[in-house]
Chain A
């Protein structure tokens, strides 16, 4: 399975998505510019992504913790999610996301 990730510079990367992994982990392990400072504990909002239409509605709704964190970002949009909360599965094969500016490392 693949996920397609557009980085902050606008370049799209096709990454091998691993079933059961968090989207954040795949993006981080492929070396893209994602801070993900809490390591997936849903505590920091530094793995913020925009999920492309058509894929956003396939995701389970965000938890209250995730919503709170998204509201703390400067660049929230209606299709914002934390990539550490998106567990990959075959249903998400081909998902397209874009890294939010606030997820970049310093």
Chain B
């Protein structure tokens, strides 16, 4: 049975612009639920360059993607937005009363008066490794994420990659797998040092097999792999495998957004510059995913767009109500909402 959630606003995408939208909407008493395909907030900032410096956020001479995300999360905490990670919105349908019904790939239904698309460059999707014929095994014995650990119990698991995902799942699955082989192009890892140390200790105990090399070919039939062929420094090898988890990073695709009936322009969503509303009233788009004359793809621009969008969203959720514009520096009402007065 589907889980049903009713809220004022669903924000699709928990990157910096989406997060700041929750602040602007919160000041206007609008409750937000976030849906994001990643497993944590921050979007591209946190996923692609968490440790790299950003120099053009007002008030921060320099800030990393992760630090900016952490600060935005602290800033919106008074409004207690709810987060739904690891899922994708498959469909949005406008209802007779003007509200929206959204369905996710995690069998949830959201009912919202307003939808804000803040999906940056689109949905993050796992990169498919350069192995011929891998598509035939996907979602049966080749997976790009672990949704149910039990699917790996008692299996011969091969994990490929050298980042946090590869190392985390190596450590998590080792106790339940029949065998586990970690393969990476080189013996240097980009994962947390503590995870690397734990993995190396398990290799030392003979509980994990680690090989430097690349996958060359898969053997199997009817969606089920049985061997992974590797090109390693020590020569070509064939490793028994019933599950393969390649972690080659993520790439962005527009994804289902393209099918929601919104006016698009070169993989971006066309909006007006007064409200940042799409061609469907009640659906807004802010940040890198929108386009309008003069658009600059800057986080700064997305923050501005979020503020204007929130005013327009309030007019939809509370028709006829007069909204008095207030400053957080001087409004006791706003300060009470923020928990500082």
Interface pair B251/A37, CB less than 8 Å apart: yes
Q: How far is the CA of A92 from the CA of B52 in the complex (A)?
A: 27
Q: How far is the CA of A2 from the CA of B180 in the complex (A)?
A: 51
Binds B, one of A8-16, A18-26, A53-61, A72-80: A72-80
A71 interfacial by beta-carbon distance below 8 Å: yes
B188 interfacial by beta-carbon distance below 8 Å: yes
B18 interfacial by beta-carbon distance below 8 Å: no
Interface pair B162/A38, CB less than 8 Å apart: no
B49 interfacial by beta-carbon distance below 8 Å: yes
Contact with A along B38-54 (1 / 0, CB 8 A): 00000010001100100
- Chain B residues closer than 8 Å to A68, beta-carbon distance: 162, 185-186, 190
Interface pair B252/A37, CB less than 8 Å apart: yes
Interface pair A64/B186, CB less than 8 Å apart: yes
Closest chain A residue to B188, Cβ basis: A64
Interface size class of A (residues with CB under 8 A): 20 to 34
- Chain A residues closer than 8 Å to B186, beta-carbon distance: 64, 68
Q: Which of B44, B249, B267 contacts A105 (CB 8 A)?
A: B267
B204 interfacial by beta-carbon distance below 8 Å: no
Q: How far is the CA of A79 from the CA of B197 in the complex (A)?
A: 35
* Interface positions of A from 31 to 72, Cβ below 8 Å from B: 37-38, 41, 43-46, 64-65, 67-69, 71-72
> A37-B252, A46-B251, A105-B267 in contact; A73/B130 too (CB < 8 A)?
yes
> A64-B188, A105-B267, A106-B254 in contact; A72/B249 too (CB < 8 A)?
yes
Q: How far is the CA of A68 from the CA of B186 in the complex (A)?
A: 9
Nearest chain A CB to B38 CB, angstrom units: 14
Q: How far is the CA of A106 from the CA of B123 in the complex (A)?
A: 12
Q: How far is the CA of A1 from the CA of B58 in the complex (A)?
A: 35
Closest chain A residue to B120, Cβ basis: A37
- Chain A residues closer than 8 Å to B181, beta-carbon distance: none
B128 interfacial by beta-carbon distance below 8 Å: yes
- What is the total of A-B residue contacts with beta carbons within 8 Å? 46
- Chain B residues closer than 8 Å to A45, beta-carbon distance: 249
Nearest chain B CB to A31 CB, angstrom units: 11
Q: How far is the CA of A37 from the CA of B162 in the complex (A)?
A: 21
Closest chain A residue to B254, Cβ basis: A106
- Chain B residues closer than 8 Å to A46, beta-carbon distance: 251
Q: Which of A37, A64, A71, A73 contacts B121 (CB 8 A)?
A: A37
Interface pair A76/B267, CB less than 8 Å apart: no
Interface pair A38/B44, CB less than 8 Å apart: yes
Please classify the interface of chain A as helix (H, G, I), strand (E, B), loop, or mixed, using the class held by over half of its residues.
Answer: loop
Q: How far is the CA of A43 from the CA of B122 in the complex (A)?
A: 16
Interface pair B253/A106, CB less than 8 Å apart: yes
Interface pair B252/A76, CB less than 8 Å apart: no
Closest chain A residue to B163, Cβ basis: A68
Contact with B along A67-97 (1 / 0, CB 8 A): 1110111111000000000000000000000
- Chain A residues closer than 8 Å to B188, beta-carbon distance: 64
- Chain A residues closer than 8 Å to B48, beta-carbon distance: 37-38, 41, 43-44
Q: How far is the CA of A43 from the CA of B44 in the complex (A)?
A: 10
Q: How far is the CA of A76 from the CA of B188 in the complex (A)?
A: 21
Nearest chain A CB to B200 CB, angstrom units: 18
* Interface positions of B from 225 to 250, Cβ below 8 Å from A: 248-249
B154 interfacial by beta-carbon distance below 8 Å: no
Q: B residues near A, CB below 8 A? A: 44, 48-49, 52, 121-122, 127-130, 162, 185-186, 188, 190, 214, 248-249, 251-254, 266-267
Q: Can you list 28 residue pairs at the A/B interface with Cβ under 8 Å?
A: A37-B48, A37-B121, A38-B44, A38-B48, A38-B49, A41-B49, A43-B48, A43-B52, A44-B48, A44-B249, A44-B251, A46-B251, A65-B190, A68-B162, A68-B186, A68-B190, A69-B249, A71-B185, A71-B214, A72-B129, A72-B130, A73-B130, A74-B130, A75-B130, A76-B130, A105-B267, A106-B253, A106-B254
Given contacts A44-B249, A74-B130, 7 further A-B contacts (CB under 8 A): A41-B52, A43-B52, A64-B188, A65-B190, A68-B162, A71-B185, A75-B130
